[in-house]
């Protein structure tokens, strides 16, 4: 992390730092992780920080919360270049670059209301093939519907609003 950032937010002792989020999408990343602020975690957001790699980036720091692999996949849907640093006792113990798997299962809902994956009571899980990671384009394995990054973000915005 660059010096100018450390001037804004202090280092965290334990938790997670998500770096290289495209500028302006930090709030969506929090939403997709289900963090609303009511959970009590100390969260720091840095938005539109200058980045050599991606122009403008956002950074999220979450104290006392580590991410599991499923959550890493979800972040890749919104922030394909994000890096996730796991911090323990002020040190980075793990640095993971999020990676979109070829197949996305369960995390995203099909936007086609007539898709069999949206039917309650059937033994079927929404499954998508990643057709393109930038811009994000998912193809439903069941009905062929295209799902975009905006669709994914809006699904997580809706579900956060319901909480």
Partner 1 sequence: MFRNRDVLSILDFTKSELERIFRVAARMERVRRSRMLEGRILATAFFEPSTRTRLSFEAAMLRLGGSVIGFSESEGTSIAKGENLADTVRMLDAYADVIVIRHKLEGAAKLAAEVAEAPVINGGDGTRHHPTQAMVDLYTVWKEFGRISGLNFVLTGDLRYGRAVASFIYGLSLFRPRKVFLVSHPLLRPRKELEEYLKSSGVDFEILESLNGILQEADVLYVTRIQKERFPDPAEYEKVKGTYRIDLKTLENAKRGMIIMHPLPRVDEISLEVDKHEAARYFQQAANGIPVRMALLYLLLGGGSR
Q: Cα–Cα distance between 103 and 45 in angstroms, integer?
A: 30
Closer of 46 and 115 to partner 1 (Cβ): 115
How, if at all, do strands 83-88 and 15-22 pair?
antiparallel
Binding segment (CB under 8 A) for partner 1, from list 36-44, 65-73, 108-116, 154-162: 108-116
Candidate list 141, 149, 153, 155; residue touching partner 1; CB under 8 A: 141
The answer to whether residues 109 and 91 touch, using CB atoms and an 8 Å cutoff, is no
Q: Which of 1, 23, 133, 146 binds partner 1 (CB under 8 A)?
A: 146
β-bridge mates for residue 57, sequence order: 22, 49
In order of 23, 65, 153, the CA distances from 147 in angstroms are: 22, 30, 11
121 interacts with partner 1 by CB under 8 A? yes
| 112 is a site residue for partner 1 (CB under 8 A) | yes
Q: CB of 39: closest distance to partner 1 in angstroms?
A: 36
Per DSSP, what are the bridge partners of residue 21?
58
Binding site for partner 1 (CB under 8 A): 112, 114-117, 119, 121-124, 139-146
């Amino acid at each position: 992390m660059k010096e100018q950032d450390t001037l804004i937010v202090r280092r965290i002792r334990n938790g997670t730092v998500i770096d290289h989020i495209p500028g302006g999408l930090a709030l969506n990343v929090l939403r997709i992780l289900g963090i609303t602020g009511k959970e009590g975690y100390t969260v720091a957001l840095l938005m539109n920080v200058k980045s050599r790699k991606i122009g403008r980036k956002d950074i999220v720091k979450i104290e006392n919360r580590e991410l599991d692999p499923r959550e890493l996949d979800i972040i890749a849907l919104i922030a394909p270049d994000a890096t996730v640093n796991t911090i323990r006792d002020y040190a980075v113990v793990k640095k993971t670059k999020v990676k979109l798997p070829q197949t996305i299962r369960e995390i995203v809902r099909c936007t086609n209301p007539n898709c069999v994956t949206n039917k309650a009571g059937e033994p079927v899980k929404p499954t998508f093939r990643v057709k393109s990671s930038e811009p994000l384009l998912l193809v439903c394995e069941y009905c062929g519907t295209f799902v975009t990054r905006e669709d994914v973000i809006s699904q997580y915005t809706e579900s956060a609003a319901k909480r």
